[in-house]
Structure 1
């Protein structure tokens, strides 16, 4: 068994590449399948309007300069 990538032979490098490729394809497939499949999906913007003005004062906090 090769304990270093530097001393590994060609077949070990090929195994690493194949495992990485399969893992990448699995992650991509999971990401694609996790999406919503609704074709009428639209994004809407929610508008937040300002309310009444409010003043907050407190003297309990310490000021460090």
Structure 2
């Protein structure tokens, strides 16, 4: 087994690529399977603007 990626031969590089590809597919499959259990019916909640509000405080210090 080669412990350095620089001195690795072609089969070692191929093994690394295959392991990374399998791990990526596994993560994607897990994410997709976790998503399918949720409900896709979404409703938009509309919030309408009310009257203007003025917020004041007597503890405000003015710096000039």
Superposition TM-score, scaled by structure 2 size: 0.70
Residue 24 in 1 paired to residue 29 in 2?
no
**What SS does the aligned partner of 1:30 have?**
helix
Higher relative contact order (CA 8 A, sep 6+): 2
User: For the aligned residues, what is the CA RMSD?
Assistant: 2.6
Unpaired runs of 5+ in structure 2? none
Mapped to 2, the partners of 1:33 and 1:63 lie a distance apart of 57
Unpaired runs of 5+ in structure 1? none
Superposition TM-score, scaled by structure 1 size: 0.69
Q: Aligned residues, how many?
A: 62
Structure 1 segments (4+ residues) deviating >4 Å: none
